[in-house]
Structure 1
Amino acid sequence: MMDKELNFVEHLDELRKRLIISAVAFILFLVLGLVYVKNIYLFFMGDLGYKLMILGPSDILWIYFHIATVVAVAGTIPVAAWQIWLFVKPALKPLERRVTLAYIPAMFFLFVGGLAFGYYFIFPNIMRFLINLGKDLMTTSFTADKYFSFLINMTLPFGVAFEMPLVSMFLTTLGLVNPYKIVKLRKYTYLILVLIASMISPPEFISHISVAIPLILLYEISILLSKIVYRQKQIPALNVDEKRDNHIY
């Protein structure tokens, strides 16, 4: 009993260590984002063609911290994934260690790819559509607060969503997810994804569809890749059973 308690305490200490390292990495990347926040701000402005307005001095600080936070999240993802891998490493088999280790750099690139997809495809198309709705009736002028809130809502969820296929593969490799059970929840998942799309996109039908369809496609890709990993995990077990049957025979 004492050994179990000591082992549990050691696991908690190890987990605390990994969380602290991830938190420190987040803070460092946050500082880095704040150092280069003006360059990042100008990049996100794109070809808007005019300066954004602010309604109060605190808006500047809010915008800078939101931009730096996105940078910090992107930079912390591989660090946090590495820490998670180190935490579960003792429980993994040698093959599982090599396979899951390859997921770490992929998580970062998929997150950045999701941000790029949201920024270069979803954001400009929805932005153009909404501006054209009132083009002949209203003068278009945005506050920095509204512009960057809209931009982050259109890009950050896709950065997270693009992680779905990799996370499902990772959890399937660890034996924590069975894709054939997830398939049974498809209709409920679709409903949740549509609700998420409606919450993060502007309140009109075209925007909802533009966001919901990519999320649903990513979910289906996640199931497909998870099934591939699951089948590959079953092959060694089948070979062992065949050898055992042959030996008995």
Structure 2
Amino acid sequence: MSEPNSLVAHLIELRSRVLKAFLSIFVVFLCLVYFAQDLYHWLATPLLDTLPEHAEMIATDVASPFFAPFKLTMVLSFFIAIPMVFYQVWGFVAPGLYKNEKRLVAPLLFSSTLLFYLGMAFAYYVVFPLAFAFFTSVAPEGVVINTDISSYLNFVLKIFFAFGLSFEIPVAIVLMCWTGMTTPEALRAKRPYVIVGAFVVGMLLTPPDIISQTLLAIPMWILYEFGIIVGSVYSRRKPDEINEEQELD
């Protein structure tokens, strides 16, 4: 009877953690929804600053002026609540981890959150101004740039996700080295292929211009090198050292 009871207890705990995660997102949403229009204007600033004179953003759908800021607020609420979501994940899995595993997972949860935020900040403050300046400068003569607000929102959200996920490369490398899936030496040997792959990924995840592709590929390469350095620290540990910690725990 202990195993079924244990399973039920775990399911109840999981439900509680999931509800708390969703509640944290909802609370952030309630705090931000009043400022939805201001948040959208802040998001659109990199494009508005590069638009030619007399050019402006437009809404081609009747409900876009409401739904575009509303959608942005929901997505932004999730982004802001990510630390609380990860905390609930940590609270659920931590009791079943060994001491050495706890020492790794906790920093990884923190660093993955920080790196995701850094990726988004890099996209907003570096990529957007350069990319939008390029787009507006190559418009054919006689073409008036009037960007739809919903299309713009979908565009920038894709870029945010692309850069946020790409900045998680060091976390993925550390996990692979720690679990023994690969070694820093093997990763260094694959460096030429990774550089080419970074530009291919940049081509697939960003708009079809060399600026955005390069601005994604170069950080991915730098983060790859950084991940190798950090991963080499964790991969140096011998299996018997880990087993000793597990026995002591």
* TM-score under structure 1 length normalisation: 0.75
Cross-structure match for 2:27: 28
Cross-structure match for 2:238: 234
- SS of aligned partner of 2:63: helix
CA offset at residue 54 of structure 1?
0.4
Q: Which amino acid aligns with 1:13?
A: I
Q: Which amino acid aligns with 1:141?
A: N
CA offset at residue 226 of structure 1?
2.3
- Tell me how large the CA RMSD over aligned residues is: 3.5
- Output the CA distance in 1 between the equivalents of 2:151 and 2:17: 36
Cross-structure match for 1:91: 96
Which of 181, 186, 189 is equivalent to 1:178?
A: 181
Residues 226 and 132 of structure 1: CA distance in aligned 2, closer, same or farther (over 3 Å): same
Cα-to-partner distance string for 1:55-89 (whole Å, 9 max, x where unaligned)? 12221233113321332222221112111211121
Cross-structure match for 2:145: 140
- SS of aligned partner of 2:147: coil
- SS of aligned partner of 2:238: helix
- Output the CA distance in 2 between the equivalents of 1:66 and 1:152: 10
Counterparts of residues 1-12 of structure 1 (less than 5 Å)? 2-12=1-11
* TM-score under structure 2 length normalisation: 0.75
Cross-structure match for 2:126: 121
- SS of aligned partner of 1:159: helix
CA offset at residue 137 of structure 1?
4.7
Q: Which amino acid aligns with 1:54?
A: A
Which of 70, 74, 77 is equivalent to 2:79?
A: 74
Residues 216 and 61 of structure 1: CA distance in aligned 2, closer, same or farther (over 3 Å): farther
Q: Which amino acid aligns with 2:35?
A: Y
CA offset at residue 103 of structure 1?
4.3
Cross-structure match for 2:163: 158
Aligned-pair identity in percent equals: 23
- Output the CA distance in 1 between the equivalents of 2:218 and 2:140: 27
Residues 217 and 40 of structure 1: CA distance in aligned 2, closer, same or farther (over 3 Å): same
- Output the CA distance in 2 between the equivalents of 1:177 and 1:189: 19
Residues 194 and 8 of structure 1: CA distance in aligned 2, closer, same or farther (over 3 Å): farther
Cα-to-partner distance string for 1:141-185 (whole Å, 9 max, x where unaligned)? 22212322222222232123223323554x469x54634298488
- SS of aligned partner of 2:208: coil
Residues 197 and 57 of structure 1: CA distance in aligned 2, closer, same or farther (over 3 Å): same
Cross-structure match for 1:149: 154
- Output the CA distance in 2 between the equivalents of 1:107 and 1:5: 34
- Output the CA distance in 1 between the equivalents of 2:208 and 2:41: 27
Which of 91, 103, 106 is equivalent to 1:101?
A: 106
Query: How many residue pairs end up in the alignment?
Result: 236
Query: Which stretches in structure 1 are left out of the alignment for 5+ residues?
Result: 241-249
